[in-house]
Structure 1
Amino acid sequence: MKNICYSLLAALSISLASAAANAAFCPFCDAPSLTLAEQIDQSGHLVLGQWVGGEKATDDSAGSAKFKIVEVAKTKGDVFKVDQEIELPQYIAGKEDGLYLLMGPDTKLIDWHAPTEVTKEAWKYVAEMPPPVTDQKEQIERLAYFLDFLEHPELTVSNDAYGEFAAAPYEVIAPLADRMPREKLRKWVSDPETPVTRMGLYGLLLGLCGKDEDAEAMKHKILHPDSDFRLGIEGAMSGYLIITGEDGLKVLEDSKMKAKTYTDKDGKEEKLPFSETYATMQTLRFMWTYEPDRIPKDRLKQSMRTLLERPELADLVIADLARWKDWGVQEQLMAMYDDEEFDIPSIKRAIIRYMYYCSEDKDKEAEVVPEYAVAAAEHLKALEAKDPKTVRNAKRFLIR
Structure 2
Amino acid sequence: MQIPVLSSARISILMLAISALFLVAIEQSLGCPFCAAVGLTFSQEIKQSEAAVIARLVEPPPASALGPNAEGPLPQAKFEVVDVLKGEDLLRSTNLLDANTLIDAIMLEATAPGNLYLIMGIEPPEFIWSNPIAINQRAVTYLKKLEQLPESGPDRLAFFQQYLEDKDDVLARDAYDEFAIAPYDDVRGLENRMDPTALLQWIKTPRIPSNRRRLYATMLGICGTPAYAAEIEKILLGEDLGDDSSDLRSGLDALIACYVVLVGPTGLDLIDKLFLDRSSRDIPFTETYAAVMALRFLGEESETIPRERVLESLRLLLNEPKLADLVIADLARWQDWSVIAKLTTIYVNATPENIFVREPIVNYMKACPLPEAARALVKLREIDPEAVRRAATLAGLAGLTTTTEEDLPTEQPSATPVRLADVVADDVTTDRSMVVSTGSQPAAEGSQPGEGPILQPTNVPSTKSSLRWIFWLVLVVIVAFLSRYLLHSGKRDTAG
TM-score by length of 1: 0.80
Query: 1:228–1:275: 8 Å Cα contact kept in structure 2?
Result: no
2:371 corresponds to which residue? 374
Matched, 1:148 2:165: no
The higher radius of gyration belongs to 2
Q: Superposed, which structure 2 residues align to 1:251-266 within 5 Å?
A: 251-258=270-277
Q: Which residue of 1 aligns with 2:59?
A: 53
| AA at the equivalent of 1:284 | L
Offset from partner CA, 1:253-302 (integer Å, 9 cap, x none): 1111125789xxxxxxxx532111110011110011122x2211111111
2:42 aligns with one of 36, 51, 62: 36
**3-state SS of paired residue (2:83):** strand
Write out aligned runs for 1:11-30 (5 A): 22-30=28-36
Between the aligned partners of 2:26 and 2:80, the Cα distance in structure 1 is: 45
1:97 aligns with 2:103: no
Determine the structure 1 residue equivalent to 2:387: 390
Instruction: State the distance in 2 between where 1:303 and 1:64 align.
Output: 58
2:257 paired residue number: 238
Aligned residue for 1:66, secondary structure, equals: strand
How far off its partner does 1:63 sit? 4.4
Alpha carbons 1:215, 1:243 under 8 Å: kept = yes
Q: Which moved more, 1:376-385 or 1:253-262?
A: 253-262
Q: What letter corresponds to residue 272 of structure 2 in structure 1?
A: E
Task: Quote the Cα distance in structure 2 between the aligned partners of 1:61 and 1:376.
Answer: 66
Report deviation, 1:164: 0.7
In 1, Cα distance between the equivalents of 2:346 and 2:74?
A: 65
Shift of 1:325: 0.8
Task: Please give the alpha-carbon distance, in whole angstroms, between the structure 2 residues aligned to 1:84 and 1:46.
Answer: 19
Deviation of 1:343 (Å): 6.1
Partner of 2:453: none
Q: Kindly tell me: are residues 215 and 290 of structure 1, through their superposed partners in 2, closer, same or farther at Cα, counting changes over 3 Å? A: same
Structure 1 residues 296 and 342: CA distance shift in structure 2, 3 A: farther
Where does 1:243-322 land on structure 2 (aligned, <5 Å)? Answer: 243-258=262-277, 272-291=283-302, 293-322=303-332
Q: Give the structure 1 partner of residue 439 of structure 2.
A: none
| Distance in structure 2 (CA, Å) of the matches to 1:190 and 1:89 | 42
Rounded to whole Å, the distance in 2 between the matches of 1:315 and 1:166 is 28
Aligned to 1:64: 76
Query: Structure 1 residues 55, 357: CA separation in 2 closer, same or farther (over 3 Å shift)?
Result: closer
Aligned to 2:139: 122
TM-score w.r.t. the length of structure 2 is: 0.66
* Match status 1:157 vs 2:154: no
Structure 1 residue 32: Cα displacement: 5.0
| Higher RCO, 1 vs 2 (CA within 8 Å, ≥6 residues apart) | 2
The residue identity in structure 2 corresponding to 1:204 is T
Could you tell me which residue of structure 1 aligns to residue 465 of structure 2? none
Q: Which deviations, in whole Å up to 9, do the C-alpha atoms of 1:304-335 show, x marking residues without a partner?
A: 10111123321121121111110011121222
1:331–1:139: structure 2 CA closer, same or farther, 3 Å change rule? Answer: same
> Is the deviation greater in 38-47 or in 294-303?
38-47
Q: Which residue of 2 aligns with 1:167?
A: 181
Name 1:87's counterpart in structure 2.
103
Is there any run of 5+ residues in structure 1 with no aligned partner, and where? 1-17, 263-270, 362-372
Identity among equivalent pairs (%):
32
Q: Which residue of 2 aligns with 1:331?
A: 341
Partner of 1:216: 230
Paired residue secondary structure (2:336): coil
User: Matched residues in 2 for 1:149 and 1:260: separation?
Assistant: 45
User: Post-superposition shift, 1:147?
Assistant: 0.4
Q: Deviations along 1:9-57, whole A, 9 cap, x unmatched?
A: xxxxxxxxx9899431211112553211111122333332222224524
1:217 partner amino acid: E
CA-atom RMSD in angstroms: 2.9
Q: 1:195-214 alignment to 2 at 5 Å?
A: 195-214=209-228
Change (3 A) 1:89 1:295: closer
Q: Give 3-state SS (helix, strand or coil) of 2:103's partner.
A: strand
Equivalent residue letter for 2:246: S
Q: Within 2, Cα distance between the matches of 1:387 and 1:314?
A: 18
SS at match of 2:394: coil
Alpha-carbon deviation of 1:107?
5.1
Change (3 A) 1:46 1:84: farther
Distance 1:388 1:100 in 2: 62
Q: One-letter code of the match for 2:378?
A: K
Q: Give the corresponding residue for 1:268.
A: none
Alignment partners' CA distance in 2, 1:22 and 1:55: 36
Give the Cα separation in 2 of the matches to 1:222 and 1:19. Answer: 30
Deviations 1:203-229 (A, max 9, x none): 101111111222111111222183399
Distance change in 2, residues 1:355/1:319 (3 Å): same
> Aligned equivalents of 2:26 and 2:170: distance in 1?
27
Unpaired runs of at least 5, structure 2:
1-23, 402-496
Q: Hey, what's the Cα distance between the residues in 2 that align with 1:152 and 1:228?
A: 20
Which digits, 9 at most, give the CA deviation of each residue in 1:101-160, with x for residues without a partner? 2222365565111111111112211121246765xxx43321221001111111211111
Say if 1:52 and 1:97, in contact at 8 Å, map to a contact too: yes
Using the alignment, how far apart are the partners of 1:107 and 1:19 within structure 2? 28
Q: Secondary structure at the match of 1:101?
A: strand
Look up the match of 1:9. Answer: none
Question: 2: distance between equivalents of 1:196 and 1:55?
Answer: 37
The whole-number CA distance in structure 1 between the counterparts of 2:84 and 2:389 is: 65
